[in-house]
Amino acid sequence: QVQLQESGPGLVKPSQTLSLTCTVSGGSINYADYYWSWIRQPPGRGPEWIGYISYTGSAYYNPSLESRVSISIDKSKNQFSLKLRSATAADTAVYYCARYVIVVGASKFDPWGQGTLVTVSS
Amino acid sequence: DIQMTQSPSILSASVGDTVTISCRASQSVSNWLAWYQQKPGKAPKLLIYEASTLENGVPSRFSGSGSGTEFTLTISSLQSDDFATYYCQQYDGYSCSFGQGTKLEI
């Protein structure tokens, strides 16, 4: 059973880069049927899709964040990572990694990591 | 970007009731629509995908319908465990977006 786990600093200073890694266990990241995704959820609000990356390294981003975000994949470590530049307090949120299934007839975010709270503050 | 609008934002109900949550897309998403349940401090849990397909292990009292721009999630015979926040999510072939959520409260 595939499991995802986020890791990274819980506190980031304003203007710095927020960096998180998601480790995939129980299955390979090198699979054409999935997009490896980042989603965030500010306190008290709904989820916001940040972006995802395929096993080939093709990435797609939320247009509202595209100028500041990059997602990369390391197949040798079965990991993918998020970098969000020029962080502000508005980036404070619980950050989730998730697998997006792109098989026709089965498109869905499943499974999700447990989430990690990142606070942007000096 | 495709915007997803859920209604109502808050829904009050009792155990045993049947409730319906609506989700409207700003443009057609075919049937690429999923529903998630979230409880405080937990990651969202997948309930339904492709608008009407029940995820394995999800009780049959949950059902989804719709296509294009109008979708509904119906929960029949509400159980105490169902009181949570529900989100719809669309996929348009390149990007995704979520609704703002519907809090189902007792």
If chain A, 122 residues long, is cut into consecutive pieces of 10 residues, what is the mean pLDDT of each piece? 96 98 95 94 96 95 96 96 98 97 87 97 96
- Mutation for B interface: A60, A101, A102, A108, most B CBs within 10 A: A108
The predicted model gives B34-56 an average pLDDT of 97
Q: Which residues of A48-85 are buried (b: 16+ CB within 10 A; e: fewer)?
A: bbbbbbbbeeebbbbeebeebbebebeeeebbbbbebe
Q: What is the pLDDT of residue B29?
A: 93
The predicted model gives B21-36 an average pLDDT of 96
Q: What is the pLDDT of residue A105?
A: 79
Question: Average pLDDT, whole number, for chain B?
Answer: 96
Contacts of A78 (CB under 8 A, 6+ apart): A23, A24, A25, A28, A29
SS (H, E, C) chain A: CCEEEEECCCEECCCCCEEEEEEEECCCCCCCCEEEEEEEECCCCCCEEEEEECCCCCEEECCCCCCCEEEEEECCCCEEEEEECCCCHHHCEEEEEEEEECCCCCCEEEEECCCEEEEECC
All residues of chain A having their beta carbon less than 8 Å from the beta carbon of residue B53 are 105-106
Q: What is the pLDDT of residue A10?
A: 96
All residues of chain A having their beta carbon less than 8 Å from the beta carbon of residue B84 are none
Question: Does residue B94 register a pLDDT over 90?
Answer: no
Q: What is the pLDDT of residue A19?
A: 98
Question: Does residue B78 register a pLDDT over 90?
Answer: yes
Cβ under 8 Å to B: A residues 19-48: 37, 45-48
Q: What is the pLDDT of residue A5?
A: 98
The predicted model gives B39-47 an average pLDDT of 96
Nearest CA in chain A to B86: A46
Nearest CA in chain A to B42: A114
Percent of chain B with pLDDT over 90: 93
Q: What is the pLDDT of residue B42?
A: 96
Contact call for residues A38 and A96 (beta carbons, < 8 A):
yes
Please calculate the CA angle A1-A70-A92 and round it to the nearest 5 degrees: 80
